[in-house]
Amino acid sequence: MEENLLNELFGLADEDYRRFSAALLPDAEPLIGVRLPVLRRIARRIAGQDWRRFMARTDCHYFEERMLQAMVLGYAKADADELLAHISAFVPRISNWSVCDSFCSGLKLARRHRDCLWDFLQSYLSSCEEYEVRFGVVMLLDYYIDEAYIDRVLQKLDQIRHEAYYAQMAVAWALSVCYIRFPERTLAYLKVSGLDDFTYRKALQKIIESHRVERREKEMIRSLKRRRVQSQD
C-alpha cells in the first residue's frame, strides 16, 4: 500500500504548489506538492479500506503522508472510544500548523460528542508541547465558541501559558473568533485578561484585521491596546 500510495502522490504533484507550500511550511516534512482537495479525495478512499493499518504507520517521510493520516481520522468509521485512541496516538506526530489545523477541522466526532471531547482536550491545553497546545486550542475554536461554551472557552484560553509561536498564535486566533461571535463578553474578558503581552497584542491585531468587525469597533480595540500598554509603564 505504501509504495503504491507514494507513486500515486508523486504522479499528482504540482511543482509550483510545492514551492508555494514549502515557503509557508518551513518546519514541515519534505513536500511532494499535492493540493489539499486531492488529498481529501484520497483520504476518503483510504478511510473506506484498511484505515487502521494506515494510521499505525509511524514512518511517514513526506508531508502529504502525514496530512493523509490527519484527514483519514475525520472520515473513518468507528465508535468514539476507538477514534479517541487513534486521535491520542496521532497528536504527538503533529509537527506543523497545517497538519494540526486540517486535522482539527476534519474531526466531526466533536460535533456528536461535545462533552466527552471537552474533557479529552483539557490535557492538551495544559501541555508543554507546542502543537499539542495548538491542537487543543484549534479544537476549541472549531467546535466550542458558542453560547453553551463561550465562558469556559475564555477561561481556558486565559490559563494557557506557552511561549511557542504557534501555540500563542492559536490562542490569538481563537480570541478573535470569540470576539466576532461574542463581542461584549470577549471585550470584558480582554480588559482583565492574564494573557502574555505577545498573545494579547496578536489577539487585538487579528480582531482589527477581521473584515467582520466594524470600523468603529476596530478603533475601540486600538484604544484598548493603548490603555493596556500605558498600564504597564
Q: Is 29 exposed, middle or buried (0-12, 13-18, 19+ CB in 10 A)?
A: middle
- For 30-87, how does the pLDDT look when each residue is reduced to its tens digit (9 = 90+)? 999 999 999 999 999 999 999 999 999 988 999 999 999 999 999 999 999 999 999 9
In which domain, by residue range, is 119 found? 109-233
* Integer Cα distance of 90 and 85 in angstroms: 9
Last residue in a domain, options 81, 107, 133? 107
| pLDDT higher than threshold 90 for residue 89 | yes
Contact 124, 131 (CB under 8 A): no
Contact 71, 106 (CB under 8 A): yes
The pLDDT assigned to 233 comes to: 44
| pLDDT higher than threshold 80 for residue 229 | no
Q: Say yes or no: 138 and 171 in one domain.
A: yes
* Integer Cα distance of 216 and 6 in angstroms: 52
Output the domain CATH number for residue 135. 1.25.10.90
Phi, psi values for residue 138, rounded to 5°: -65, -30
Q: Say yes or no: 77 and 128 in one domain.
A: no
Contact 133, 167 (CB under 8 A): yes
Q: Say yes or no: 1 and 49 in one domain.
A: yes
Q: Say yes or no: 116 and 161 in one domain.
A: yes
| pLDDT higher than threshold 80 for residue 17 | yes
Q: Say yes or no: 103 and 113 in one domain.
A: no
Mean pLDDT of 108-125: 95
Tell me the whole-structure pTM to 2 decimals: 0.92
What percent of the chain is predicted at pLDDT more than 90? 88
Q: Say yes or no: 139 and 101 in one domain.
A: no
pLDDT band of residue 1 (cuts 50, 70, 90) is low
Q: Is 180 exposed, middle or buried (0-12, 13-18, 19+ CB in 10 A)?
A: middle
Contact 168, 199 (CB under 8 A): yes
pLDDT band of residue 224 (cuts 50, 70, 90) is confident
pLDDT band of residue 228 (cuts 50, 70, 90) is low
